[in-house]
Amino acid sequence: MDTDTIADEFGLTPMVKIEVVIDGADEAAVRDVFLGGGATGYTALTGVSGFGHHGHHQGRLLFNDRASLSMLITVVPRARAADLIAGIRKLLDHRHGVLFVSETAVSRPEYFAAP
């Protein structure tokens, strides 16, 4: 079942989910692109650990909240997604990190679209 079908079947609204995993130090840049591009909010998961292109990444350190990875997630209407995705891709030209874009469906569309 694709997202539009799910949305229709359950009375939800299709949206685009954008997830970025990036150095904790670059969190502000991602937030700026999100909010400047019309996202009404985001979720930040700090101290993310994992293994990838640059080897193993530690989770949270005892006295350094900035050295680990963060994951920022936002959901926007499709019409606004292009601006955000272009901005994040541009950011990643100069930074480590990964971007995931997927379709999703939400129950309260007004939460995700500024008037």
Partner 1 sequence: MTSPDTGASLHAGRSTHDETVIDFGTLRADVATATRLVAPVWPVESFVATNPMRGFEHLPFDTACTEAERWFGATARCPLPWYRERYRAGAIRTADLHAAMIETDPALALSPPVELDGQPVDLLDLFLIDLLDGPEAPIERTGDPWITGALDHLGSWISTYLDDHNPLVEQADRDRGFLAFWRRTAVADPRLARLVGRGGRRWIGSLPDDPTAALASALERLRVDDRLDALRSLATKAPGWCGLAVWMEEWAGSGHRGPRVRPIEVIGLLAALDAAAGVRRLSITGAIPTGDRSIVAERVEHVLRVAGGDSASAALQRRLADLLRNAPPRAAVWLRAHEISYRDRLLTSLTPLERAVPPDTTPATAQLVACIDVRSERLRRHLEAVGSYETFGFAGFFGVPIRWRPTDSTTTEARCPVLVTPTREATEVPIDEAASQRRQRTRQGLRTAWSAAKHDPAAPFALAEASGWITGPTAAVRTMFPRVASTRPEQPSTVVVDDTRGGFTLRERVLFAEAIVSTIGIRDFAPLVVLCGHASSTPNNAHASALQCGACGGAPGGDNARVAAAILNDPDVRATLAERGVTVPTTTWFVAAEHDTTTDSVRVLDRHTVPPGHLALVDTTEAHLRVAGRRAASERAGRLPGTHTEHRAHDWAETRPEWGLARNAAFVIGPRSATAGVDLGGRVFLHSYEPDTDPDGLALETIMTAPLVVAQWISAQYYASSVDPEVFGAGDKLVHNPVGRHGVWRGQGGDLAIGLPWQSVATGGELEHEPLRLLAVVEAPVDRVESVVRRNDGLRRLLDGGWIHLAARDHRVAPWSLRSPGGTWVTWHHANDWSRSRSETTELLEA
Q: Which residues bind to partner 1, rule: CB under 8 A? A: 14, 16, 23, 25-29, 32-33, 36-37, 54-58, 61-67, 77-79, 81-91, 93-96, 103
Q: For partner 1, which is the closer residue by CB, 64 or 111?
A: 64
Q: For partner 1, which is the closer residue by CB, 93 or 108?
A: 93
Residue 111 CB, nearest approach to partner 1 (Å): 18
Buried b / exposed e over 41-76, threshold 16 CB at 10 Å, is: ebeeeeebeeeeeeeebeeeeeeeeeebbbbbbbbb
Q: Measured between alpha carbons, how far is 52 from 54 in angstroms, rounded to an integer?
A: 5
Residue 13 CB, nearest approach to partner 1 (Å): 9
Q: Are 15 and 109 in contact (CB under 8 A)?
A: yes
Q: For partner 1, which is the closer residue by CB, 42 or 96?
A: 96
Q: Are 37 and 83 in contact (CB under 8 A)?
A: yes
Q: Are 16 and 105 in contact (CB under 8 A)?
A: no
Residue 29 CB, nearest approach to partner 1 (Å): 4
Residue 66 CB, nearest approach to partner 1 (Å): 5
